[in-house]
Structure 1
Amino acid sequence: MKKFFIPVLLFLFFAKGFSQTEKGRFALSGATNLGFLSSTTSVAVDSGRGSAVKTKTANLQAAMAYFIVKDLAVGINGGIVYNRTEPDNNSPYFHNWSASVVPSITYFIPVGGRLRPQLSAGAGYTWVFKDKTDAEGITFHVSPAVSYFPNRNFSFDLGVQYAHLQLKDKETGNSSQTQNIIGLAAGVSVYF
């Protein structure tokens, strides 16, 4: 029995990537950021600019996509993010949670082999939950990545993410926040 499974496992691991991204297939993905994300936030209150702050970010993402044509998928991403912000003026840190929903489009560059470069872009909405104040607003993202397909239905993904957020205070509406976030992300995807 062992003699049967070993060649099958070797075939699945070394098989050339094929037809993972053809029309009509679905993809489910999950990713995390490996802890390398950071951002600089500039806060504006009543049209006056505040000081810059440094933010450390950890996130968890899930996505679902449908291939409308070969190598081109439309989908929706959801994410939960934890931010720890440290102001430049030696004030104590503060933290918040945010959630986002982002419709997106992903293009897999058609190259031979198991390694497939891809580019994803999207625009959606983000909600931020803080201790005393909540904010919400529009988010845009771009993410070049590389996917390694050990077999037809599974990939390991590694990429760079850039996100731009424009947030407004929900209660007063007079304070806004702009965030530009860049970082590395790693994840897995299942294709069916």
Structure 2
Amino acid sequence: MSDTVHELLLRLAGRLPDDVLWRFRDWAAGDAVVVLARVLPRTLLHDRIGLTDYEQQLLGDALIPHGADRGTISSVKGLDELPEADYTFSPESPDRVPMGDSTSVVLGATLRGRPGIGEVRSTWRLRGTETRRVLLVTATGGYTRLTGELQRVLRALGEQDPCVEVLPVEADVPPYQRAALEASELVCTGAEADGHLVPV
């Protein structure tokens, strides 16, 4: 799966519902790009989710070669700039679950020292009464497959709609992930950790 699809889905985090986004990422990781090419543009239209010019370009580049309808893509609402996120992030769980909980322990054991992995961070996203763990991982490659793998791990640990953000090490971080990073705690570091994403 191309990095273009991964980047587009990264940029849609916080705008697409979690249950939809994790499924799209799962399809991308499973090379079901033909399905994604058909469903993602229609979802954007149906849910009235707008895209910036850059995101429109990503959408077309990623999905038209796999059968996405040009008319549907061109009908997606345009945005001059990304909307402000209506989430807040916190390094502490509102339920006072420490980051040393079993999920963090499993993630640390799975990713600590792993080649291709930089930092692994975790935060809690809050909106109203809804609380979600957001996992943020930097990597040097294989972003789509790593996202799929970590989503499956989190689902096995009981998270229905896992929120996994795998960021290229040298990426320009989108606003949603930037806000999440600012309120995150370090879980572990992989073999590629070089400095910190968040000032210590």
Q: Which has the higher helix share?
A: 2
Q: Which has the higher strand share?
A: 1
Same fold (TM over 0.5): no
Structure number, greater radius of gyration: 1
* TM-score normalised by structure 1 residue count: 0.29
